[in-house]
Amino acid sequence: MIGKAVLLSIVLMGILFSVMAWLCAVCVPDYRTLTMDESAVLQIFQAIGGSKLEIFECAVIVVAFGLACGLECLIASTRVIYSMATDGIFPKPLAKVSKKQVPHVAIIFMMIVSIIQCVLLGLNIIAQITSFGSLIGFLAVNLAVIWKLYIKAEDKSAKNFIKFCVSPFLGFAVCLFIFVNSSPFCLKFGLGWMIVGFLWLLYITKGFKKPCPTLDV
């Protein structure tokens, strides 16, 4: 049921965003008239209903994305950092918890990093950086499905071939297409961050003389 619910949610969200994009295109046929790159939707709502509708939409965005999605991302990233610190990948202070078993150090650390990113980089660049990490994860997941559930599996039936080979390969191809067409800055920043992570791995493993730590989430 969980798998079906996830797929249904993805389909519904895809339909919803497609309808929203179509309505915005109907209201503003020539996108070149939009001058606000990072908040074009507010300009569209201003063209539709004036400043009052723009203010209302701004409040909705703050509550829906700034609080709900922002809090969700903060909790998720904090959990990963706390787990990595517990497993010895990150410094131990990030694994400290309060009396109520809240990883307060990791939360404060992520808040500081998020604020610095928002102030120095801006929304557009942050979105590109986030897309780089997401695409790398999706590429790896699709390859892992093919390797684990089809190549290493004993059942090579036509059904499993379509389900565990063709389907993830199509997903991999789509993600790869988006990845290679990302902005040069996104690719350079992402690759640079991966190099930093590799150097950190060299440090904590003493040049791979020690086994690589595993993450237990």
Q: Per-residue pLDDT tens for 179-196?
A: 888 888 888 888 888 899
In a domain, 28, yes or no: no
SS3 of the chain: CHHHHHHHHHHHHHHHHHHHHHHHHHHCCCHHHCCCCCCHHHHHHHHHHHHHHHHHHHHHHHHHHHHHHHHHHHHHHHHHHHHHHHCCCCCHHHHCCCCCCCCHHHHHHHHHHHHHHHHHCCHHHHHHHHHHHHHHHHHHHHHHHHHHHHHCCCCCCHHHHHHHHHHHHHHHHHHHHHHHCCCHHHHHHHHHHHHHHHHHHHHHCCCCCCCCCCCCC
Confidence of residue 94 (pLDDT cuts 50, 70, 90): very high
In a domain, 17, yes or no: no
Locus of tokens 């040069």: 184
Confidence of residue 216 (pLDDT cuts 50, 70, 90): low
In a domain, 129, yes or no: yes
In a domain, 140, yes or no: yes
Q: What confidence tens digit (pLDDT) does each residue in 141-164 have?
A: 999 999 999 898 888 888 889 989
Ranking 24-28, 69-73, 105-109, 165-169 by mean pLDDT, the lowest is 69-73
Average pLDDT over all residues of the chain: 84
Quote the pLDDT of residue 127. Answer: 72
In a domain, 215, yes or no: yes
Note the pTM of the prediction, 2 decimals.
Answer: 0.65
The distance of Cα 206 from the centroid of its chain, to the nearest Å, equals: 30
Q: What confidence tens digit (pLDDT) does each residue in 95-140 have?
A: 999 888 889 999 999 889 888 887 887 767 777 777 788 888 899 9
In a domain, 85, yes or no: no
In a domain, 15, yes or no: no
Structural domains of the chain, count: 1
In a domain, 92, yes or no: no
Instruction: Quote the domain boundaries for residue 153.
Output: 123-217
